[in-house]
């Protein structure tokens, strides 16, 4: 079906002067997520979005676009930042005609599964320390950073503990969540079952911010809401990670562990250096060649250390 | 001249399990720096050294080799880590013959210069806050990380202060040192003149560890030896850099600023994440394409902030 009409072009670049690229992404991504339905309401026949990337390159970056059931549906595409610069110049110079063709669509739903492995706790088998990432990725790349890295790091925690002959006090569980990108389906199902089964998760730890050098663990409150109490307790041992430039701080958590809040002690997200993350994120260059082995390993080492410390010294009560 | 005889092969890899790649480099580089003259003393006709790199790749990494005047001189070459693995396997399997040809040599000395620019202090023009890097590099690459980055970051400090209309209290001086790699010739001359002229340097700051994300400033004592006193004083404002994951710590300084100790308040070296630094260091891939613009800019932003804070609030007495 070919339709002629107005096309809305969203071209707000990420603000690279912000101290964090996560903030820069957060400050620009509304155009892609919520812009197209607004354009449709105004009668646009399509929407074109500048890729959420701080770089000038030729790789379109995709990601979720949210149409509510009552919104009129129109095609929405992301173009590379170089192409966005070109289109912007063209529009400023002359009335510009573009032709949009997209073969993208929702193909219906299929059953899939979270992947779970654990080492049973020797003293508190019913209390869980969870570590996880998500299995799915945007299909144009391999999802090496988002979130192959988080999955590998989470599996690596169990591997390292086992290889070192460590017998944990609590149950250490690795969860690879399915379908984070389109609505947290696996995370919601996992949390539903954990809450129904009254399975207390002392800590739920997520890695879903790329495979770069870890800088911090960002923490959000669990069921008791006493984040300060837990952070004070954990500060007594987190100085052990200071030589590796890894801090513990309030603010964070993660998408897949969020639904676990009612049955969790604390929610913790690994925060790697994110200066390069949006160079690759949701694009065809999110591939293994762009993951540095040492940085990937630094993340799993950081999480393994944190899991060990929580297993031994808890999060305080 | 072709000579037949024994060749010594130094093949100790960098220990990648160490928390810092600087330590791993420090633990392996003695083979390249001091191995060849030892081999010569034992009658070797040449020495072959495994490149100081944590990666397996095809890029030989060069660097200084120290022959004392009385040492017999033999050719010494670095081979890539992939080639070192191959040679090692061959030696273990069978007696191995290799042919070494090198055209490298010292071509004599020539006069060159440090490059210096400054903004005069409005209140304490005779007191200097120095920032610097070194202009020379090993010739097989472009020296983008070592130390083009440090030079650019140092110049950027003056540019940023000026662009923001800041009139410093102390003299802010950018020094691009000549010939760091072969004996700190420019640094020694600069220090000689500064000491002779009784030019007090409140702080001498160096960037010579690559252009990656800054993690800390490492500090060494100046003339008064009171490092703890200065660190305590500076701790009162360095918390402003905590949101950027930048710490102030004892231990560090730098090669080119070291000779300034007798006329310095404190010696400070920028410490970027060094996980990738030795992938490029002293090799043909130390080129601009391997510098991330945001990481380069983060370093100059960190140094500019530190210079401003020292200019305003000092280092304590």
In chain A (317 residues long), the average pLDDT of successive 10-residue segments reads 91 92 95 96 96 95 93 94 98 95 88 98 98 95 97 98 98 98 96 97 98 98 98 97 94 96 98 97 97 97 98 97
Asked if B65 and B39 touch (Cβ cutoff 8 Å), the reply is no
Nearest to A133 by CA among A217, A218, A204, A221: A204
Tokens encoding B306:
């530190």
| Confidence bin at B10 (pLDDT 50/70/90) | very high
Q: Do A273 and B273 touch (CB under 8 A)?
A: yes
Distance CA A106, CA A179 (A): 14
Is residue A316 less than 8 Å (CB to CB) from chain B? no
Q: Do B245 and A298 touch (CB under 8 A)?
A: no
Asked whether the CA dihedral B177, B154, B212, B310 is positive or negative, the reply is positive
State the pLDDT at residue B105. Answer: 82
Q: Do A294 and B273 touch (CB under 8 A)?
A: no
Which strand ranges, in their side-by-side order, compose the sheet holding A247-250?
A: A115-119, A170-177, A124-134, A201-206, A264-272, A214-221, A247-250
- Residue B272 clears pLDDT 90, i.e. is over it: yes
Distance CA A5, CA A20 (A): 38
Distance CA A210, CA A259 (A): 21
Is residue B301 less than 8 Å (CB to CB) from chain A? no
Taking only the tens place, the pLDDT of each residue in B210-255 is 999 999 999 999 999 999 999 999 999 999 999 999 999 999 999 9
Asked if B132 and B158 touch (Cβ cutoff 8 Å), the reply is no
Task: List the single residue in A54, A215, A298 with the smallest CB-CB distance to B245.
Answer: A215
Asked if A277 and A209 touch (Cβ cutoff 8 Å), the reply is yes
Please state whether the predicted TM-score (pTM) of the whole model is above 0.90: yes
State the pLDDT at residue A74. Answer: 94
Asked if B222 and B265 touch (Cβ cutoff 8 Å), the reply is yes
Residues from chain A contacting residue B245 (CB–CB below 8 Å): 215-216, 245, 247, 273
Task: List the single residue in A16, A245, A275 with the smallest CB-CB distance to B215.
Answer: A245
Taking only the tens place, the pLDDT of each residue in B29-83 is 999 999 999 999 999 999 999 999 999 999 999 999 999 999 999 999 999 999 9
Dihedral angle computed from the Cα positions of residues B301, B303, B309 and B312, in that order, rounded to the nearest 10 degrees:
-100
State the pLDDT at residue A264. Answer: 98
Q: Do A294 and B244 touch (CB under 8 A)?
A: no
SS3 A7: strand
Q: Do B298 and A276 touch (CB under 8 A)?
A: no
Distance CA A112, CA A89 (A): 45
**Distance from the A198 Cα atom to the nearest Cα atom in chain B, whole angstroms:** 37
Is residue B118 less than 8 Å (CB to CB) from chain A? no
**Distance from the A274 Cα atom to the nearest Cα atom in chain B, whole angstroms:** 10
Asked if A269 and A206 touch (Cβ cutoff 8 Å), the reply is yes
Distance CA A242, CA A248 (A): 10
* Alpha carbon A74 to its chain's center: 27
Distance CA A132, CA A136 (A): 13
Residues near B126 by Cβ (< 8 Å), separated by ≥ 6? Answer: B171, B199, B200
Taking only the tens place, the pLDDT of each residue in B89-136 is 999 999 999 999 998 888 899 999 999 999 999 999 999 999 999 999
Q: Do B244 and A292 touch (CB under 8 A)?
A: no
* Continuous H helices in chain B: 21-26, 30-41, 81-93, 149-163, 185-196, 227-238, 277-280, 293-313
Distance CA B62, CA B49 (A): 10
Greatest C-alpha distance within chain A: 72
Q: If 0-12 CB within 10 Å is exposed, 13-18 middle and 19+ buried, where does residue A182 land? A: exposed
């Amino acid at each position: 079906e070919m339709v002629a009409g107005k096309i809305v072009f969203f071209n707000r670049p990420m603000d690279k002067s912000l101290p964090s690229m996560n903030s820069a992404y957060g400050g620009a991504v509304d155009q892609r997520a919520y812009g197209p339905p607004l354009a449709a309401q105004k009668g646009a026949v399509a929407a074109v979005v500048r890729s959420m990337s701080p770089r000038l390159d030729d790789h379109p970056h995709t990601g979720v676009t949210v149409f509510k059931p009552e919104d009129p549906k129109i095609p929405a595409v992301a173009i590379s930042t170089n192409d966005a610069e070109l289109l912007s110049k063209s529009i400023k110079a002359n009335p510009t005609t573009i032709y949009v063709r997209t073969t993208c669509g929702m193909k219906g739903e299929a059953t899939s599964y979270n992947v779970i492995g654990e080492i049973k706790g020797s003293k508190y088998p019913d209390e869980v320390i969870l570590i996880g990432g998500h299995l799915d990725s945007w299909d144009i790349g391999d999802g090496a950073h988002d979130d192959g890295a988080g999955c590998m790091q989470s599996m690596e925690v169990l591997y390292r503990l086992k290889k070192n002959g460590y017998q944990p006090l609590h149950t250490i569980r690795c969860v690879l969540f399915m379908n984070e990108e389109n609505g947290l389906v696996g995370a919601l199902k996992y949390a539903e079952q954990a809450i129904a089964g009254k399975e207390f998760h002392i800590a739920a730890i997520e890695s879903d911010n790329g495979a770069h050098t870890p800088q911090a663990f960002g923490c959000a409150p669990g069921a008791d809401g006493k984040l300060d109490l837990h952070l004070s307790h954990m500060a007594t041992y987190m100085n052990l990670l200071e030589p590796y430039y890894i801090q513990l701080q309030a603010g964070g958590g993660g998408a897949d562990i969020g639904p676990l809040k009612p049955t969790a002690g604390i929610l913790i997200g690994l925060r790697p250096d994110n200066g390069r993350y949006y160079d690759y994120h949701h694009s065809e260059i999110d591939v293994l060649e762009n993951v540095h082995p040492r940085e990937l390993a630094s993340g799993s080492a950081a999480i393994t250390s944190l899991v060990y410390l929580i297993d031994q010294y808890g999060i305080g009560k």
